Amino acid sequence: TTIDFKSGYFQVGLDPKDRSKTAFSTRDQHYQFTVLPQGATNSPPAFQRIVSQILGPTRWQYSLAYLDDIIIYSPTFDQHLQRLDDILNRLNDANFRLNINKCQIAQTAIDYLGHHIEHSNIRPSADNIRALVETQQPTTAKEAFRFVKAAEYYRKFIPGFSTIAQPLHQYAPTTKEQRSKKS
């Protein structure tokens, strides 16, 4: 099962003393968020921490969460129904609402974070591989390095990836400190 929150960040209220930290002004008015804003530096870790606390001891036992995407896994259908009920109760108790159109209940195969998971097999998502294969051939060092960084997400599926990609690392963007060490 995959579970997706409905506007997850906006379901998390901000403590009144922290609201001023999100303030911004326009020509006409001054605003501040009353809920966790998307795009703020600390929003993803704050949201992840909240979801992890809600899932509690179920994490790594039969659930995993990355921000607002949760998966629930089980060896049997009956056990899965029990686990699904537990997770849904936890989310309901925390007043979270779900995006039912993006939830997939009791599936034997799912796509999750760019991977296709079926039984105990994990492989890259076909759509993501297609996008990499259909990428135009790089014509500059920067484009080649960008392609390698995109392909790197699937490095565990490519034997000898570091050896294949190594020649392109000389074109990697560097900081002033790294450039001075190369000299």
Is 54 inside a domain boundary? yes
Of 51, 73, 107, the residue at which a domain comes to its end is 107
Give DSSP secondary structure letters for 141-155: HHHHHHHHHHHGGGG
Asked if 70 and 157 sit in the same domain, the reply is no
Q: Are residues 15 and 102 in the same domain?
A: yes
Are residues 136 and 60 part of one domain? no
Amino acid identity at 80: H
What residue ranges in the chain does DSSP mark as E strands? 2-4, 24-25, 30-31, 63-66, 69-72, 109-112, 115-118, 121-124
Task: Name the residue range of residue 164's domain.
Answer: 126-182
Q: What is the pLDDT of residue 180?
A: 59
3-state SS, residue 5: strand
Query: Does the residue 160 lie in any domain?
Result: yes
Long-range contact list for 156-161, CB < 8 A, 24+ apart?
157/123, 157/124
In tens, the pLDDT along 112-164 reads 888 898 888 899 998 988 988 898 888 887 788 888 888 888 888 889 888 88
Q: How far apart are CA 89 and CA 82, in angstroms?
A: 11
The C-alpha atoms of residue 130 and residue 145 are separated, in whole angstroms, by: 19
Identify whether residues 36 and 99 lie together within a single domain. yes
- Residues 142 and 101 both lie in one domain: no
Same domain, 146 and 96: no
Q: Among residues 75, 107, 139, which one ends one of the domains?
A: 107
Q: What integer pLDDT is reported at residue 74 of this predicted model?
A: 92
SS3 at position 81: helix
In a domain, 120, yes or no: no
Residues 10 and 88 in one domain: yes
Question: At 57, which CATH number?
Answer: 3.30.70.270
Identify whether residues 98 and 44 lie together within a single domain: yes
The confidence score (pLDDT) of residue 85 equals 96
- Please report whether residue 116 resides in a domain: no
pLDDT tens profile 59-90: 999 999 999 899 999 999 999 999 999 999 99
9 and 68 in a single domain? The answer is: yes
How many domains would you assign to the chain? 2
Q: Which of these ranges, 4-13, 17-26, 147-156, has the smallest mean pLDDT?
A: 147-156
* Reported pTM: 0.74
Does the residue 155 lie in any domain? yes
58 and 11 assigned to the same domain? yes
The answer on 25 and 69 residing in a single domain is yes
Both tokens assigned to 3: 């579970």
Among 118, 176, 168, 177, which Cα is nearest to 148's?
Answer: 168
Higher pLDDT, 180 or 28: 28
Are both 85 and 135 inside the same structural domain? no
CA-CA distance, 80 to 92, in Å (whole number)? 18
